[in-house]
Amino acid sequence: MVEASKAQLDRGAHMFGSLNDVAVMLAERLVNDIPCAEKIAYATTGSEATAYSMRLARAFTGRSKILKFEGAYHGNHDYAIVSTFPKETGNYPQGTPDSYGQPEATVSTMLVCPYNDLATLRKIVAEHHADIAAIFAEPVQRIIPAEPEFLHGIREICDEYDILFIMDEVVTGFRLCYGGAQQWYDVKPDLSTHGKVVGGGGPLSCIAGRADAPISTARCTVTRWPRPQPWRCSTSSASRASMTV
Ligand SMILES: Cc1ncc(COP(=O)(O)O)c(C=O)c1O
């Protein structure tokens, strides 16, 4: 790893959202190894990958809300840190902020549901589906593995209401088994987010997903695409040193 990373550093540290040879080689491997991956977009951290994928779900569906599960961790941004450590539970689907400084407007775009509870999920989605862009789930939520029927149920509900199923595989990807939880549980999400192992410990993350998902690099919303293209690029997404293959 160290030797391979050093060799890449000699060739430049940044990707700047453009393509390079290792990025393409790694993407080819990822498309082969991650069941839902028809294409790949890179970012730098797991938090960035989850934030981008929430934005692209909103752009893709034209809906504003994301449903997450109580106790799930999806990174450090304002949309993710909702009801991760709620002081009280039960007021579903209303979420509670986990940090001082979080805007109320952001928290109110998140809906929260208890984990492994398909009946409550069905109830919330039946009521709010017109606003829900994506259901976001960790397949092993911290230390709680999903019941297989729970993940299959999320897939069915998403298909029924045209909601995107985003599986957060930042922890489980390449670890639960090589194809991640989506292979282990045999459930294909529309998108999955990957971090940690994907960069071999270096700063790299990715979004894997459907061929029609608007995850190409774009600096602004443009209208020449069939669907609105959400912003997704940054200086270090992603550095060659983390992309050795
Ligand atoms: C499931 C999950 N999603 C997202 C993240 C955020 O990743 P990062 O710390 O690289 O921003 C983490 C971090 O531990 C995680 O466990």
**What CA–CA distance (Å, rounded) separates 117 from 101?**
30
Res 128: pLDDT: 98
Res 212: pLDDT: 84
**What CA–CA distance (Å, rounded) separates 124 from 9?**
49
- Check if 168 has its Cβ closer than 6 Å to any atom of ligand 1: yes
Active site residue 168: yes
Question: CA nearest 134: which of 196, 88, 68, 221?
Answer: 68
Count of C-beta atoms within a 10 Å radius of residue 177: 13
Overall residue count recorded for the chain in this entry: 245
Q: SS3 for the chain, per residue? A: CHHHHHHHHCCCCCCCCCCCHHHHHHHHHHHHHCCCCCEEEEECCHHHHHHHHHHHHHHHHCCCEEEEECCCCCCCCCCCCECCCCCCCCCCCECCECCCCCCHHHHCCEEEECCCCHHHHHHHHHHHHHHEEEEEECCEECCEECCHHHHHHHHHHHHHHCCEEEEECCCCCCCCCCCHHHHHCCCCCCEEEECHHHHCCCCCEEEEECCCCCCCCECCCCCCCCCCCCCECCCCCCCHHHCCC
Q: 194, 196, 197: which to mutate for ligand 1, most atoms within 8 A of CB?
A: 196
Which class would CATH give 2-242?
alpha beta
**What CA–CA distance (Å, rounded) separates 169 from 112?**
19
**What CA–CA distance (Å, rounded) separates 69 from 71?**
6
Cis status of the peptide bond prior to 137, with omega within 30 of 0: no
Active site residue 87: no
Positions in the chain short of pLDDT 50:
218-224
- Check if 194 has its Cβ closer than 6 Å to any atom of ligand 1: no
Q: Which atom of ligand 1 is nearest to the CA of 47?
A: 11
What's the pTM?
0.94
Res 242: pLDDT: 84
